[in-house]
Amino acid sequence: MYAVETIELSRVFELKGKSILALDDVNIRIGKGEILGLLGANGAGKTTLVKILSTLLLPSKGSSYIHGHDVVKEAKQVRRIINLVSGGETPGYGMLTVRENLWFFSQLYGLSSSTARERIEMLIRDMELEQYRDVRMHRLSTGYKQRLNLARGFINDPKVLFLDEPTLGLDVINAKHMRKYIREWVNADKTRTILLTTHYLAEAEEVCDKIAIIYKGRIVAYESPSALKSSLSNGVSINVEIFSDPTAIASRNSMVEKISRSSGVLACMLEPSGSDNGYHDYMVKHEGGSYSNGRYDGSISSDGLTRVRIILDDDSKIPDLVSTLVLNGYKVLSVRKDQPTLEDVYMRYIGMREG
């Protein structure tokens, strides 16, 4: 029996007379003791899937099971063994203290007084909330509110925990603390399972046993991070440092396009400058030979250089690529061959689907 299983799960939303397919025949199986990372852009269907599995939304088609319980027909049994934590959500009543809020949530799951007391103390300790134990929730900072929110998710010691972008808006230290705790929690009891949705590829790579990439409601890849990376074994990832004006959008777009149209380039990602609000520009070549471009979230580097990550189908194409750049007037400062990252995998799969 799987901890989580979905069979041809689909969901259609009706919006202003139009049908929007949010999930399209999704089949996933998560074993006990696993952390599955669900990666996808905004609107890809991550939250819809989590909402169906956590009994908050009905599917339009297909079935899903949590520890063998039908999510639709046995919602009550499912609710006893799951919990859901979403990034940025309200972790309780502002007027109640941290301890009182956790007690309140423990009662929603019918915990006995002694179990509730023990678990609340443990979670307060684990989430490093000791000094805020008797502080009212509305006085907590965003990071500590999210720690309380995460503690809420563990209050019923769920068998399956859904984490929907749990580190959204958190600083590096809080996010790291949260990731560490998630991993340790599953390792401590191999009957526990987590489904984690995230935008952050590094986060998925750090904590997840398996990764599913969801694109326009379909699961387009479903493997361990290492298997996903080795699926790019035919390709090669290179990092190129180019001296150009990093703030000129037209110039940057033109650079991405020129690189992408070079022989052997499968995808091209431009690291952002300080003025880009953390977005990466990218361009992907599809199997049919067409191209698509867009932007996605990422970290910012601001040392004035433009760094481009390129996936080539063959490393013999590197000299041709460098020549193309030089002929187009770009100063190539360095070219470094690299191991494929999850980011490369993500770009490649999204690109293939758009093709």
Q: Is 277 exposed, middle or buried (0-12, 13-18, 19+ CB in 10 A)?
A: exposed
* Nearest to another protein of 97, 260 (CB atom): 97
Q: How far is the CB of 133 from another protein (least distance, A)?
A: 16
Q: What are phi and psi of 54, to 5 degrees?
A: -100, 20
CB 307 within 8 Å of CB 271: yes
* Nearest to another protein of 151, 240 (CB atom): 151
Which uninterrupted H or E stretch holds 195? strand 193-198
Angle at 220 between CA 233 and CA 266, to 5 degrees: 45
* Nearest to another protein of 103, 291 (CB atom): 103
Q: How far is the CB of 99 from another protein (least distance, A)?
A: 12
* Nearest to another protein of 107, 328 (CB atom): 107
Strands of the sheet with 331-338, listed across from one edge? 291-297, 279-285, 265-270, 306-312, 236-243, 331-338
Give the type of residue at 235.
G
| Cα–Cα distance for residue pair 196/88, rounded to 1 Å | 15
User: What is the token pair recorded at 143?
Assistant: 């990071």
Evaluate the CA torsion angle 50, 55, 60, 61 in order and state its sign: positive
Q: What are phi and psi of 131, to 5 degrees?
A: -75, -10
Q: How far is the CB of 343 from another protein (least distance, A)?
A: 31
* Nearest to another protein of 2, 104 (CB atom): 104
Q: How far is the CB of 201 from another protein (least distance, A)?
A: 27
* Nearest to another protein of 53, 255 (CB atom): 53
* Nearest to another protein of 101, 306 (CB atom): 101
Q: How far is the CB of 110 from another protein (least distance, A)?
A: 3
Q: How far is the CB of 291 from another protein (least distance, A)?
A: 35
* Nearest to another protein of 48, 198 (CB atom): 48
Q: What are phi and psi of 194, to 5 degrees?
A: -130, 135
CA 101 to chain centre: 28
Spatial CA neighbour of 213 closest among 20, 33, 19, 39: 39
CA 88 to chain centre: 15
Q: How far is the CB of 11 from another protein (least distance, A)?
A: 8
* Residue 272 CB-half CA count within 13 A: 15
| Cα–Cα distance for residue pair 79/83, rounded to 1 Å | 7
Applying CB under 8 A, the residues found at the interface with another protein are 13, 48, 51, 54-58, 76, 79-80, 82-84, 89-90, 92-93, 95-96, 100, 103-105, 107-110, 152
Q: How far is the CB of 262 from another protein (least distance, A)?
A: 44
